[in-house]
Amino acid sequence: MFIDKLALTLAVVGALNWGSIGLFGFDVVAFLFGGQAGTVSRIVYTLVGLAGVWCITMLFRETEPFESHDHA
């Protein structure tokens, strides 16, 4: 599902950004988009947060088992 991949990608971006802050004290999103209070930075932070909430739903979903298709 496209939204799952997008949410997971944004969550990874957020995780990498937090890792950068924790290890180096450097906020990549703020650097790229005009500071923490910048409009684009706030949009990115909001999208990452929403993606994290979406990813929570992925933990509780039932997954479809793979069906084997015999082509014999």
The C-alpha angle 28, 47, 26, rounded to 5 degrees, equals 15
- pLDDT tens per residue across span 28-71: 999 999 999 999 999 999 999 999 999 999 999 987 666 666 66
pLDDT tier, 9 (very low <50, low <70, confident <90, very high otherwise): very high
Domain spans of the chain?
2-59
Alpha carbons 10 and 45: distance in angstroms, whole number? 10
Alpha carbons 42 and 21: distance in angstroms, whole number? 16
